Chain A
Amino acid sequence: MSHTSSNTRLPLCQLPAGALGRVCELAGDAEFCQRVREMGFGESAFVTKVSGTGTILCQVNGNRIALSHGAAKSILVEPVGRRV
């Protein structure tokens, strides 16, 4: 996994609403990373931000997932484009 273009990375909480991103790094503790990966939200998963700045709402593989601010901050994504 070599996503080196670090300048385009941003935490999920900062991804604009409606934007599509790809998960490139998980920064939380081991237990959190484990669960996020197990829920199919691991590295290289595509995520659409739905709404929110504090608690955020996003869509991964057709699932609606709510993340607290802290959790969204620990998921680094690279923007890929906008949802059609």
Chain B
Amino acid sequence: MALPSHISANPAGPSSSRTPVYALVGNPNCGKSTLFNALTGLKQKVGNYPGVTVEKKVGTAYSQHGQPITVIDLPGAYSLAARSPDEAVTRDVLLGRRADTAQPDRILCIIDATNLERNLYLVHQILDLGRPVILVVNMMDLAAASGVTVRINRLEQELGIPVIACEAVNGKGLIELKVAMSRPDLPLARHAWDIPAAIAPAVAELQASLVANDRKAPFIARAEALLLLTDQDSVRVSGSTPLHARTEEILRAWQKRWEGEGTDWAGTLVNSRYDAIGRIAADTILQTGTSAGPTISDKIDSVVTHPVWGWATLGAVMTLLFLSIFTLAEYPMNLIDAQMAALGDWVKNAMAPGDLRDLITSGAIGGVGGGIIFLPQILILFFFIGLLESTGYMARAAFIMDRLMSRVGLNGKSFIPLLSSYACAIPGIMATRTIEDQKDRLVTILVAPLMSCSARLPVYLLMIAALVPGDRVPVATKVGIMVLMYALGTLGAFGFAWLFKRTLLKGAPPLMIMELPPYRLPRVKDVALHMLERAWIFLRRAGTVILGISIVLWFLSAYPKATEGATEQQQLAQSFAGRAGHALEPVIKPLGFDWQIGIGLITSFAAREVFVSTMGVVFNAEAKDDDTTPLRQAMAAAKWPDGRPLFTPLVCITLMVFYVFAMQCISTIAVVKRETNGWKWPLFQIAYMTGTAWLVCFIVFQTGTALGF
């Protein structure tokens, strides 16, 4: 058979000088990431598709002959008819719709042997693309255990493409896969299925228009045409090219006609695909035994999804998570703190006194150090999240939480983003990409920063230290206040989600449909890789954004220069930051804050934890994150001009409440802007959060004052 011209000039062969590009696709939970890690090892790069926070993972594998092969790990998808931004990226890359990612040369399709029919649905759509495909049938061992044998040879004959049996977790089948990937030519699929007669003319017409007007290759055009009919096309993500007007017109005309006739075109297409898949499956699946009673997964589920034991399990997991974040992280955090201080001292000794030295020590080292001190907590959080996800428990947690979330109009899928936001809102917001409903997604993004992140922790700790001095009060009181602040933020998040779902982003109650994967033993390598990826993203941000902001803030508090011999406090008072603090005072006075606190509020707009170091400069005390005693004493001595003490217990509480609600984080604003494709929502978020913070603080302070506190 003569191959079509676009295939026979195969650009993917190892003989060609260019590195071939494979796209790795598959359903969620089919072992795709494990296979990707097994193929590429540590040779991975994690980036972003421009305009969306969907992660772009690219790695390098090596062929049998040692030639490099680029592998793009596409987000898991059930169908090319995308329902979430994640799936939209997968669709757009495969169709060559993205300007930033060239269409892959070959496609590596991974499917779960225990669930062949549903997994073959995506394969069926992908074979439409007319690209060389290698099919990897994963989890052969699990299928065998449940009495199912997949006849790989039959499947290969049936589809006409290389099919590799594989157990990605223990590396079985990897060699065969690499041999297949190294082949200079791959056969195209014998992929014949009958498009239902009622729809065929529309597909032909759309295909013709896509070729003529949208300049698509014939195969891709046919696949696109089929997709346009099933895809409600609700998820267009930035970076995907729009359709030609003529194509849109043809599509609308057909849809109108079918609506008149009562033809369910989308349903018919899905059913005819499943009919074709059913025939393939009947020929390839051999039921060798019956599954004997409930599986281990079923037994675990009967406890973990139980109305009572389920909550108990979730509670225990959450407690363990938070205990680890706050106790285990302490040692490495102290270590980082000490190292940063030592580095600062070293620079101080090595350089002559002057602005440059101050810039490096106070601006760069101080600022970045204040950021990376949270790295241990972030690592622990992501270690846990990775563990919960790879074992399959995370989906159960979402299931348990769905009930509660539905009260405020969200569904269980919003649970993971909100949980991550306890560590940091940025990964939380990035985790919203699996939420299908745009409005639900936006609501989750809007409320995620209300969950008390770890950057608020230093502020809380400082304020509690100022509030309950010394060791006269039991530890329980301090912990109680801390828990209260976390509870306040959480309640705020749920309250605002409820409000937004009823007003701004009104929508029908979400129809959640979520697969609960079978439980698996976690793979330490996968979890560790996931954790390191996060750490790297975080460190890169600390090295760029936070460093930049720290330098700007240093400048604002160091200039204009005070007269010779002025103290550090006098210098700060008359710097740009000090003047801004004075300008802000009328606004924050009703909350019990003076201009000095105002400086802290302004500088910590960059990142909340900056408040602590700013207070250290303002009150001229050497502050360390783990020892707030000198700063506390300096703060206790601070007074209003008329002699009243500044940091009364009420002011300390009010200040904590302010940090619970206020949007004090430039990095979050940047992520929300990128995520929502514009300034509208981040600006709204700043306004509503900081507005709420002011209002709640006003009520707390004024009520407290009236009650005589």
Contacts and interface: CB of A to CB of B under 8 A. Distances in A.
Contact of B270 (A34, A68, A69): A34
A78 to B, nearest CB: 19
Interface string B51-94: 00000000000000000000000000011010100000000000
Looking at chain A's contact residues, the main secondary structure is mixed
Nearest to B27: A39
B114 A70 contact: no
Given A64-B301, A65-B515, A70-B511, A54 B266 contact: no
Given A40-B274, A51-B305, A57-B305, A66 B399 contact: yes
Given A34-B232, A62-B146, A39 B78 contact: yes
Interface in A16-62: 28-43, 50-52, 54-55, 57, 61-62
A74 interface: yes
A15 interface: no
Contacts of A68: 402, 406, 411-412, 509-513
Nearest to B29: A63
A70 B306 CA distance: 20
Contacts of B81: 34, 38
A39 to B, nearest CB: 6
A29 B234 CA distance: 13
A57 to B, nearest CB: 6
B6 to A, nearest CB: 28
Contacts of B436: 35
Contact of A38 (B146, B270, B301): B270
B271 interface: yes
Contacts of A66: 395, 398-399, 402, 412, 512-516
Interface in B470-527: 508-518
Interface in B131-163: 146
Nearest to A60: B118
A34 B266 contact: yes
Contact of B511 (A37, A52, A64, A74): A74
A50 B267 CA distance: 27
Contact of A39 (B234, B509, B511, B513): B513
B121 interface: yes
Contacts of A28: 511
A28 B163 CA distance: 37
B594 interface: no
A61 B117 contact: yes
A31 B312 CA distance: 35
B254 to A, nearest CB: 15
Interface residues of A, number: 34
B230 interface: yes
A63 B117 CA distance: 11
A42 B78 contact: no
Contacts of A77: none
B279 interface: no
B114 A62 contact: yes
A35 B512 CA distance: 11
Contact of B399 (A29, A57, A71): A57
A1 B517 CA distance: 31
Contacts of B297: 64
B402 A31 contact: no
B403 interface: yes
A37 B271 contact: yes
B570 interface: no
A43 B398 CA distance: 27
B76 to A, nearest CB: 13
Given A30-B232, A64-B516, A68-B509, A35 B79 contact: yes
B267 A42 contact: yes
Given A55-B412, A64-B515, A37 B267 contact: yes
B232 A31 contact: yes
B404 to A, nearest CB: 10
B115 interface: yes
B268 to A, nearest CB: 10
Contacts of B83: 31, 35
Contact of A70 (B121, B270, B305, B510): B510
B399 to A, nearest CB: 4
A61 B271 CA distance: 16
Contacts of A41: 513
A42 B274 contact: yes
A38 B402 contact: no
B117 to A, nearest CB: 6
Contact of B115 (A52, A63, A69): A63
B271 A42 contact: yes
Contacts of B79: 35, 38
A65 B508 contact: no
A5 B541 CA distance: 61
A42 B581 CA distance: 62
A33 B513 CA distance: 11
A55 B403 contact: yes
A40 to B, nearest CB: 4
A55 B399 contact: yes
Given A40-B117, A70-B510, A55 B515 contact: no
Nearest to A70: B509
Nearest to B293: A84
Given A34-B81, A40-B274, A67 B115 contact: no
B305 A39 contact: no
A33 to B, nearest CB: 7
Nearest to B399: A66
A61 B146 CA distance: 13
A74 B511 CA distance: 9
Contacts of A29: 508, 511
A69 to B, nearest CB: 7
Nearest to B396: A66
A42 B301 CA distance: 25
10 contacts: A37-B267, A50-B305, A55-B402, A57-B516, A64-B516, A65-B516, A66-B398, A66-B515, A70-B510, A70-B511
Closest 3 CB pairs of A and B: A68-B512, A64-B516, A71-B511
Given A33-B267, A38-B78, A55-B402, 10 more contacts: A30-B232, A31-B234, A35-B78, A38-B270, A40-B117, A40-B121, A40-B274, A66-B412, A67-B514, A68-B510
